[in-house]
């Protein structure tokens, strides 16, 4: 009996965590994002503000929403910004602008001198980032592994498993009762 | 038989752990791990199906005749999972950044493939949870927490 009660408490705890995780991850909205996207496009096309057929991959990508529904646009952490930008934020509200402050820009050390001196942009290396790329989702060396989001996904996964186990048990119980009634 | 069941169990455990790690590309060794592990999980899934080929064959042949309702439901769930994983890998290939798949020329906008990737992975994870729930007795038997009552579980 004690074992059953402890299992029931554990199951309720998993279910509650699962519901919290569903909200935190915006799970339902993300699950139907692709269906929403197609219906949005359909309505846009009807109104006449859509990208239209044959607008081309490049153009439509310019309008791309880079975040999942309900997810805030990702900003890089403050410590990963170059010194000059970091300084601009730090100087805000203290009457000190960018021009008044003299910063050493850590990014300059990475740029080849010919680009730095002429004030040119670094040419793009290509369409695909290499394994040292610094795009969204890249893992930089020295960064800690953060599994908090994975744990929320685990909570959703576990809660669905628990729900299925109990539904399966309930169905088995109903079938057994039906059989016993029929045999009587 | 025992070795085979243990192998199936370890493979299923690996698929579950990798799938959970893949749900957030930023959390575990970044996008390159995400892309390679995503491709490898597809192979694991195919291996999982090959190992349970006898069950698939049996249910396919008897789906409309003598087949328990649970087996039918499991079969339909497996089809949905297969579709989900296929879409997940296909959309992952379309938006891959560290592995160059541009030669496949899948077409469509990046936004569409990203939405497809997110939606299919979220739905497939939910299906994984249901699948595990339906095979919970088998898991308990492998962990020796429950005695094997029949051989209905694959």
Q: CB–CB of B13/B53 below 8 Å?
A: no
pLDDT 10s digits, A108-148: 444 444 444 444 444 443 344 444 444 445 555 556 677 88
pTM, to two decimals: 0.69
Percent of chain A with pLDDT over 70: 43
What is the spatial distance between Cα B122 and Cα A70, in angstroms, rounded to a whole number? 15
Residues of A in contact with B97 (CB under 8 A): 128-129, 133, 135
Domain ranges of chain A: 1-49, 75-122
pLDDT score recorded for residue A46 = 59
A153, A162, A178: best mutation site toward chain B, by most B Cβ within 10 Å? A153
Contact B32/A131, CB-based, under 8 Å? yes
Q: Which residue of B has its CA nearest to A28?
A: B122
A100: confidence class by pLDDT, cuts 50, 70, 90: very low
pLDDT score recorded for residue A47 = 57
pLDDT 10s digits, A77-93: 555 555 555 555 555 54
CATH topology for B2-142? 1.20.120
A25, A37, A45, A50: best mutation site toward chain B, by most B Cβ within 10 Å? A37
| B116 near A CB under 8 A | yes
Residue A17 has pLDDT above 90, yes or no: yes
Residues of B in contact with A60 (CB under 8 A): 109, 111
Residues of B in contact with A35 (CB under 8 A): 119
Residue A154 has pLDDT above 50, yes or no: yes
The stretches in chain B having pLDDT less than 70 are: 148-154
Q: CB–CB of B12/B5 below 8 Å?
A: no
Where do the H-state alpha helices sit in chain B? 2-22, 30-51, 53-62, 69-94, 110-134, 136-142
Q: CB–CB of A60/B109 below 8 Å?
A: yes
**DSSP of chain A:** -HHHHHHHHHHHHHHHHHHHHHHHTTHHHHHTHHHHHHHHHHHHHHHT-S--TT--HHHHHHT---S-TTPPPP---GGGS-HHHHHHHHHTTTT--TTTS----GGGGTS-HHHHHHTPPPPP--SS--TT---TT---TTPPP--HHHHHHHHHHHHHHHHHHHHHHHHHHHHHHHHHHHH-
pLDDT score recorded for residue B150 = 54
């Amino acid at each position: 009996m004690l074992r059953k009660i402890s299992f029931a408490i554990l199951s309720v705890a998993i279910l509650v965590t699962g519901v919290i995780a569903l909200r935190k991850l915006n799970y339902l909205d993300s699950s139907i994002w692709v269906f929403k996207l197609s219906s949005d496009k359909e309505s846009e096309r009807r109104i006449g503000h859509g990208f239209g057929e044959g607008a081309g991959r490049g153009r439509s990508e310019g309008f791309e929403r880079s975040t999942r529904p309900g997810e805030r646009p990702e900003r890089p952490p403050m410590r990963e910004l170059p010194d000059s930008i970091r300084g601009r934020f730090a100087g805000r509200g203290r009457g000190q602008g960018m021009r008044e402050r003299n910063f050493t820009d850590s990014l300059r050390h990475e740029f080849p001198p010919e680009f730095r001196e002429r004030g040119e942009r670094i040419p793009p290396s290509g369409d695909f980032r290499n394994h040292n790329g610094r795009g969204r989702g890249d893992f930089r060396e020295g960064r800690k592994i953060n599994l908090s989001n994975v744990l929320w996904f685990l909570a959703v996964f576990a809660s669905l498993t628990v729900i299925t186990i109990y539904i399966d048990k309930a169905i088995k119980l109903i079938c057994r009762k039906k059989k016993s009634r029929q045999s009587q | 038989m025992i070795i085979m069941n243990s192998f199936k169990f370890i493979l299923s455990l690996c698929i579950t752990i990798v799938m959970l790690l893949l749900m957030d590309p930023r959390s575990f060794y970044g996008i390159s791990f995400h892309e390679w592990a995503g491709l490898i999980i597809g192979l694991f899934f195919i291996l999982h199906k090959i190992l349970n080929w006898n069950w698939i064959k049996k249910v396919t042949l008897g789906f409309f005749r003598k087949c328990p309702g649970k087996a039918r439901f499991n079969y339909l769930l497996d089809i949905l999972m297969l579709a989900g994983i296929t879409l997940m890998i296909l959309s992952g290939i379309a938006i891959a950044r560290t592995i160059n798949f541009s030669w496949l020329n899948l077409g469509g906008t990046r936004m569409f493939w990203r939405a497809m990737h997110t939606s299919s992975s979220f739905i497939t994870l939910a299906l994984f949870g249901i699948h595990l729930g339906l095979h919970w007795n088998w898991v308990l038997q492998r962990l020796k927490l429950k005695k094997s009552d029949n051989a209905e579980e694959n």
